[in-house]
């Protein structure tokens, strides 16, 4: 499974349309994703103190677009990038991603 962090509003819009396309897709050409082991670090790096986040749990066998593990910033850790729209049928679960009092994220205990 791979994951993607988005807002609750964007997720509601995706459910209504049948596919998820993040705001930055037109400029970047792909959807940023993380493995479950990477998602907390990603959230803490890019979404500190951000409210109303939801994590989409994605089954890569249910997507048709190209999924590439790469690092476009020159680092060693590879991240999954989805080069296409995400069909809602590929999202097999979600969970709210709430930050702690210090603004940092952690996986809910039931996910660990």
Q: For residue 15, give its domain range.
A: 2-97
Residue 104 located in a structural domain: no
CATH of the domain at 27: 3.20.170.20
Please count the structural domains in the chain.
1
102 in any annotated domain:
no
Q: What is the pLDDT along the chain (112 residues), one digit of tens a residue?
A: 999 999 999 999 999 999 999 988 999 999 999 998 999 999 999 988 888 999 999 999 999 999 999 998 888 899 999 999 999 999 999 999 888 888 888 887 766 5
Q: What is the rounded CA–CA span in Å between residue 71 and residue 32?
A: 11
Looking at the domain assignment, is residue 112 inside a domain?
Answer: no
In a domain, 105, yes or no: no
Query: Is residue 55, in this structure, part of any structural domain at all?
Result: yes
């Amino acid at each position: 499974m791979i994951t993607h962090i988005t807002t609750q509003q964007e997720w509601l819009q995706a459910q209504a349309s049948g596919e998820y396309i993040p705001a930055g897709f037109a400029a970047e050409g792909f959807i940023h994703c993380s493995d479950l082991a990477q998602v907390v670090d990603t959230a803490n790096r890019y979404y500190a103190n951000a409210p109303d986040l939801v994590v989409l749990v994605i089954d890569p066998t249910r997507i048709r677009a190209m999924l590439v593990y790469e690092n476009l910033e020159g680092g060693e850790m590879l991240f999954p990038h989805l080069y296409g729209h995400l069909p809602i049928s590929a999202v097999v679960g979600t969970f709210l991603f709430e930050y702690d009092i210090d603004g940092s994220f952690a996986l809910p205990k039931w996910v660990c």
